[in-house]
Structure 1
């Protein structure tokens, strides 16, 4: 047996082998196999940290602290605030996640009339989608996404129909009440009712209710009775959470793994900034000949001053004196390289683009393109999570409220199960080379692998608005006798199709 695989016998090994040599041999063989996994053995040079706690226990002990640290970084650290903005802007975008209604007839075709009705009502609702009437729908999405990424979770109560003292602010009686994670107490638990961390679940682990405070803990409205909890049925609550483990109930901040590094970067930069500021304030000193020359200064004559000016010749030095400069080695030339390395690690932990987080665009075109292509999948995954947990349920609620209020009665030829079907379109990867990207989309649409609606949505536009704008503009252009290159292209295309049809008729 080699020294690497040697396993010393313990007292238990000897005791087992004494009573049962066969069992002792199996025990020794199993220990020899386990000893090969060196990563599982702590040593003097490696701590080998282990955590066998349940997901909920980890969250209960850490979530609130991590949430507070992430909020502090957003408020006081420019890099953290910028990184959070990069994630939100790429996941949600300026106009929010697009929704294209796709209700279908019984024959499978899209019911354009009913879709148009939903779009009309939707344009009205998105102006005031939440109870305070402060935010539009796109702002609600960005605010919810920022809270979700920073705090690990965000809540929204779904309010449909008549609610006491609530003005929905739109024709469709539906509103959202946004809530931060503080409303849902981590410490509230009741084993008899299967309540853990403020969430009531059934025997299968499905959330059936949320126990929330009536006001934000510690706010100005926090008074007598505010500490009381109210139960909100899970069917009336949206809960967007970052879950890392199976069975986890509450979310953890996306900044959890990079908080320490961000704090170190902030402290290091602050130290270097102060050192550079001190170095800039230092001037010169007068070095005298020997110790005897440093006699006690004459206090009556005041502090000795030597003026400094470009090209100046100093001839006021006494015998044995010379001018010395203080070299502080600041600013530190290694700061930039250190900062770049740390920010790459932060970008990897957050899943954001290093170039966007660090505002460093010095790479080659190929490197920038490769980074963007590889990075965009992470934004797409976050977008998919947010759509599934927030946008899609809100759309289904909106369609339900519109139907129940009689504003969007389903037609007889509508397939019932498709009434709230829709296409949810997130942000598209930015164009690095606009000409190549445009040609690629043109080829996909022309070959039938993509639709014009998808392309317009990917570019942040509304397909119906674009069509109306084009139609109105073409009409005005025709009235003025103007023509464009696309008009000739369409005429040629129409002529080619007509000739092709004529050829087919002749062949028949």
Structure 2
């Protein structure tokens, strides 16, 4: 091919290259923000998510039921020791009864699921016996982040050494009688005396995230939907029908002395309407579709919490008991 032919056949614009990985491009993604590093995202939003999850857990019946299901499945009757040594097992049982270990475990699991983390400080009483103190997650100061030098630093109330290993926890002191949070200098507790329980979901995560995080919006929307459906049902139950003036010039269908706002129907009533008037009764058929929408929402929430839907809804209709028993066993594992 000659030089002149190559010049004439040359395209003005080179062909554009289009990304073929749809998860990285496309018109459907502009409204979906990207998720950053797990550690920084959790630190930025954990407190807000925790507060909303607590609100739902104590105010929404579905969320409260989910929290109790998780508590029952993970705790059961509480921890027991079966070492084979009768004396050791008996001593552990006595200690567990003295510190109310079963109730404490339920409280810890409830905090782990709702708040996303549980903090237990190991203490000893006057006799030297072990005592477990459950501390609310907000007392581990999330705003306390500083550089200490020599590679040591504090991130969200947790102190790390140069090898990124936690060596201490900084708790804000609080009293059970405090009605409002007041500033008090954090107290340093060595890591050996602290049990920090949370589900690690990514590298660099130092604080826990509520297990309700994926379903907070669906739970809130479902709660609003159920409120709206209940109000709609009440309105539809009160509304029997509507009188319609078909030609705009009909005479009043009411008798003398009757109020136009009081057209009621009693059992056995027969009312004759003048010409030009019609009655249209309410037909609340859309409620059936709304019930299906509620069921779909419950399945979505159950999937987000990784529990069987029939446990969350309490609806055993159409459930195969053998399959339900298998699902329940797998869930408790």
Q: CA deviation at 1:182?
A: 0.7
Q: Does 1:137 pair with 2:101? A: yes
**Structure 2 residue aligned with 1:388:** none
Which stretches in structure 2 are left out of the alignment for 5+ residues? 1-13
Q: Following superposition of structure 1 onto structure 2, how do residues 202-281 of structure 1 map, counting pairs within 5 Å? A: 202-215=161-174, 219-220=178-179, 222-223=181-182, 226-281=183-238
Do the aligned partners of 2:168 and 2:189 also contact (CA within 8 Å) in 1?
Answer: yes
1:346 aligned to which of 260, 280, 301: 301
1:39 aligned to which of 13, 19, 23: 23
Which stretches in structure 1 are left out of the alignment for 5+ residues? 1-7, 11-30, 103-114, 130-135, 163-170, 381-508
Do the aligned partners of 1:284 and 1:323 also contact (CA within 8 Å) in 2?
Answer: no
Q: Residues 370 and 216 (structure 1 numbering): CA distance in 2 closer, same or farther, change over 3 Å?
A: farther
Q: Residues 49 and 293 (structure 1 numbering): CA distance in 2 closer, same or farther, change over 3 Å?
A: closer
1:128 aligned to which of 61, 76, 98: 98
- The CA distance in 1 between the partners of 2:117 and 2:325, in whole Å, is 27
- The CA distance in 1 between the partners of 2:177 and 2:154, in whole Å, is 23
**Structure 2 residue aligned with 1:498:** none
2:89 aligned to which of 112, 119, 139: 119
1:201 aligned to which of 160, 168, 188: 160
Per-residue CA deviation, residues 420-469 of structure 1 (Å, 9 max, x unaligned), is xxxxxxxxxxxxxxxxxxxxxxxxxxxxxxxxxxxxxxxxxxxxxxxxxx
Per-residue CA deviation, residues 90-111 of structure 1 (Å, 9 max, x unaligned), is 1111x11332125xxxxxxxxx
Count of aligned positions: 316
- The CA distance in 2 between the partners of 1:330 and 1:218, in whole Å, is 52
Do the aligned partners of 1:185 and 1:197 also contact (CA within 8 Å) in 2?
Answer: yes
**Structure 2 residue aligned with 1:99:** 81
Q: Residues 82 and 48 (structure 1 numbering): CA distance in 2 closer, same or farther, change over 3 Å?
A: same
SS at the partner of 1:332?
helix
Do the aligned partners of 2:215 and 2:301 also contact (CA within 8 Å) in 1?
Answer: yes
Q: CA deviation at 1:186?
A: 1.4
Do the aligned partners of 2:141 and 2:186 also contact (CA within 8 Å) in 1?
Answer: no
SS at the partner of 2:195?
strand
Q: Following superposition of structure 1 onto structure 2, how do residues 44-443 of structure 1 map, counting pairs within 5 Å? A: 44-47=27-30, 49=32, 51=34, 53-93=36-76, 95-102=77-84, 115-129=85-99, 136-162=100-126, 173-192=129-148, 193-215=152-174, 219-220=178-179, 222-223=181-182, 226-288=183-245, 290-293=247-250, 301=257, 303-304=259-260, 305-306=262-263, 308-315=265-272, 317=273, 319-320=274-275, 322=277, 324-329=279-284, 332-365=287-320, 368-374=321-327, 376-380=329-333
Q: CA deviation at 1:126?
A: 1.9
SS at the partner of 1:232?
strand
Q: Give the TM-score normalised by structure 1.
A: 0.57
Say what the alpha-carbon RMSD is for the aligned residues.
Answer: 3.0
Q: CA deviation at 1:314?
A: 2.3
Do the aligned partners of 2:81 and 2:89 also contact (CA within 8 Å) in 1?
Answer: no
- The CA distance in 2 between the partners of 1:371 and 1:137, in whole Å, is 31
Q: Residues 201 and 123 (structure 1 numbering): CA distance in 2 closer, same or farther, change over 3 Å?
A: same
**Structure 2 residue aligned with 1:454:** none
- The CA distance in 1 between the partners of 2:61 and 2:305, in whole Å, is 15
SS at the partner of 1:81?
helix
Q: Residues 294 and 98 (structure 1 numbering): CA distance in 2 closer, same or farther, change over 3 Å?
A: farther
- The CA distance in 1 between the partners of 2:74 and 2:211, in whole Å, is 14
- The CA distance in 2 between the partners of 1:100 and 1:176, in whole Å, is 21
Q: CA deviation at 1:157?
A: 0.7
More strand by share: 2
Q: CA deviation at 1:138?
A: 1.0
- The CA distance in 2 between the partners of 1:222 and 1:307, in whole Å, is 56
Do the aligned partners of 2:302 and 2:308 also contact (CA within 8 Å) in 1?
Answer: yes
Do the aligned partners of 1:183 and 1:217 also contact (CA within 8 Å) in 2?
Answer: no
